[in-house]
Each structure stands twice: as C-alpha cells, then as structure tokens.
C-alpha cells in the first residue's frame, strides 16, 4: 500500500535557499535528468541518487521529505521501510528552471563560494590554524544550484576574503589559509560576507584600502615591513590598530567612547609605523586600547581585540 502526499508549503526548513543547500539542489537536478530520460511523470527511487553520487552517509528519506516540504516532489510512501519513490511537481520543475538560470549567474556563484568557504573555514579551523583551502571542494557546500564550484571560483573567493582581512594566506607547501580575528567576528554575526563588507561605518573609522603617509595599508599586516635598529617589532601593534579600526562600529560602544577608541587606535598606528617606534608609547596606546575594550564591550570582536593587545604587549617584553 502506498499513498501520494503533497506538501502545502514551499518554505525552506531553516530558511536555507535550495541553491545553497548542497545535496538537495543536486537531487532536484538529478530528478530532472531522470524525468527527461523517461517522461514528465516518471517516478524514481531516491536511493538510486545516493548510490550514483556515492553518498553513503545521507538518508534518502530525509532528502525526499525535505524536497516535499518545499512542494518540489510528491513522495510515495511504501510501508516497507525502503528508500522513497518520488516524482516532480510543477513547483519542482519551476525550481529547476530557476536553478539552471542561477548556474549562469557569476556574481551569485561567487557570493555563495565566499560565504560557504568562510563558514566552512570557521567550522573547520576557527582556532586560526592553517588549512589547505582545496579541501573545501570535497564538501557538500562546494556546490551551487547543483553544480560544482570550480577551482577558479574558489581562487577568486579567497582573494576577496583576503582583501577584506577575513582570511590570511600562509606561505606553506601546499599553500594554506587561516581565518583572521576579523573573520571570526564576521562568522559570529551570522550574516553574509557582503553584509560584513557593506556594513555602514559612521563616524571616524579607518578605510582599509587607503594607505597612510608611509604607504602602509591598515590591516594588511602580512605585507608590513619596517627597518629599525631599536629591536622593536611593531607588526603586532599595526595589526592591533588596524583590527580595532575595522571592528569598532560593531562593538556596541557609545559614540563618544567609540570615537576615543578609534583615536587611540590611530595614535598606535602612527607610532607603530614611524621610523623608530618608541616602546613606551606602543605600550601606552596598546594598554589604553585593551582597557577600553575591557570597559565597554562584551562582544566576541572585543574579546579578539583584547587577546591581540595582550599578545602585542607580551612580545614587547621579550
């Protein structure tokens, strides 16, 4: 005995769009291929998809029921516990048409790649340990609208994420990347990479892409070099100043406190990038930043800033 049951909603469980859902979009496109091979009413067992795509850890029933929730398929429930048979609905065919158009949308593919890689990096190596980014291409998230993300698209996404200091490249063999404190903060907000990049920054903030008078771009610490004979390595202080300038708008501070925080960060940056940084002034400004973060902010971004200040101060004592 079997029964055809049609769901009455197209809402995606968890709010996830199907083009970014990994296996679901692939399954839907696979059902379209099977339907074209036979006819529009062709009923197919989802277990065949699991076998063909070599996904032994996936439950075919769960995949089928999730598509049913979106009204993309009708599920034939057989009471023998076997993998379910499904056939496409009109809503499913419309979704397939939309997915095929999205596959050609280069901007949409790149946005997905940036977001999916950033989430994967945070989940996999959120402790900022280096990891080979190519490993991402073996995950379900490396699909968009049912099509594989290419190596070229991943490379473009990595360049964008590095440009906005959400990741940093590590000179290893093979090359690796690590998430930055700013990348961790971005992940914890729950928004997209574009949400982070495009967030308004009112008041006195640093522009990441405008170099200072000495040609040093705030936040691009991996490229920071300086010659001095005082035995002071200012790299961590430049990094701290750039980070505080970036995250100050999301710390939840009153306007006056945020303006003062950014002023101290600018003073630290100026001192750290001078020809001969003075250890006492570096210590003074870094300590002030740490104290202000401790006093007025409780976010993860503030915690990251406090840790960076402590690391810089410890290095100064060595």
Orientation angle between helical segments 181-189 and 300-317, nearest 10 degrees? 170
Q: Phi, psi at residue 192, to the nearest 5°? A: -85, 170
DSSP bridge partners of 176: 170
The answer to whether 76 touches 1, Cβ cutoff 8 Å, is: no
pLDDT along the chain (318 residues), means of 10: 34 63 92 80 85 91 93 79 85 95 94 96 91 95 94 94 92 91 88 84 38 37 43 80 84 85 91 86 91 77 85 82
The answer to whether 224 touches 216, Cβ cutoff 8 Å, is: yes
d(CA 250, CA 266): 18
Is pTM beyond 0.85? Reply is no
d(CA 99, CA 95): 6
Give the angle subtended at the CA of 108 by the CAs of 219 and 222, to the nearest 5°: 15
Q: Phi, psi at residue 161, to the nearest 5°? A: -65, -40
d(CA 285, CA 235): 14
> What's residue 300's pLDDT?
79
Q: Phi, psi at residue 128, to the nearest 5°? A: 70, 20
> What's residue 40's pLDDT?
54
Quick one: residue 216, left, alpha or beta (phi over 0 = left, psi -120 to 50 = alpha)? beta
Q: Measured in whole angstroms, how far is the alpha carbon of residue 65 from the centre of its chain?
A: 28
Quick one: residue 166, left, alpha or beta (phi over 0 = left, psi -120 to 50 = alpha)? alpha
Q: Helix, strand or coil for residue 266? A: helix
């Amino acid at each position: 005995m079997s029964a055809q049951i049609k769901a009455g909603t197209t809402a995606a469980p968890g709010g996830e769009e199907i083009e970014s859902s990994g296996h679901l979009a692939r399954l839907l496109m696979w059902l379209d291929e099977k339907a074209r091979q036979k006819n529009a009413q062709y009923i197919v067992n989802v277990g065949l998809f699991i076998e063909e795509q070599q996904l032994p850890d996936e439950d075919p029933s769960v995949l089928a029921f999730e598509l049913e929730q979106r009204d993309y398929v009708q599920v034939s429930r057989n009471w023998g516990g076997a993998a379910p048979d499904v056939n496409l609905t009109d809503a499913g065919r419309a979704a397939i048409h939309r997915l095929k158009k999205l596959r050609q949308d280069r901007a949409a593919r790149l946005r997905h790649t940036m977001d999916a890689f950033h989430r994967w990096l945070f989940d996999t190596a959120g402790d900022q340990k280096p990891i080979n980014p190519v490993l991402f291409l073996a995950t379900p998230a490396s699909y968009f609208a049912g099509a594989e993300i290419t190596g070229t698209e991943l490379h473009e996404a990595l360049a964008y994420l590095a440009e906005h200091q959400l990741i940093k490249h590590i000179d290893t063999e093979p090359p690796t990347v690590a998430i930055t404190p700013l990348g961790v903060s971005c992940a914890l907000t729950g928004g997209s990479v574009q949400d982070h990049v495009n967030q308004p920054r009112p008041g006195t903030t640093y522009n990441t892409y405008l170099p200072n008078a000495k040609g040093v771009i705030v936040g691009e610490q991996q490229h920071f070099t300086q010659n001095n004979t005082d035995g002071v390595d200012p790299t961590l202080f430049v990094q701290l100043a750039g980070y505080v300038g970036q995250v100050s708008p999301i710390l939840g501070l009153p306007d006056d406190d945020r303006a003062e925080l950014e002023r101290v960060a600018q003073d630290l940056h100026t001192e750290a990038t001078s020809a001969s940084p003075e250890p006492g002034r570096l210590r003074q400004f870094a300590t002030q930043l740490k104290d202000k973060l401790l006093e007025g902010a409780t976010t993860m971004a503030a915690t990251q800033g406090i840790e960076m200040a402590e690391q810089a101060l410890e290095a100064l004592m060595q």
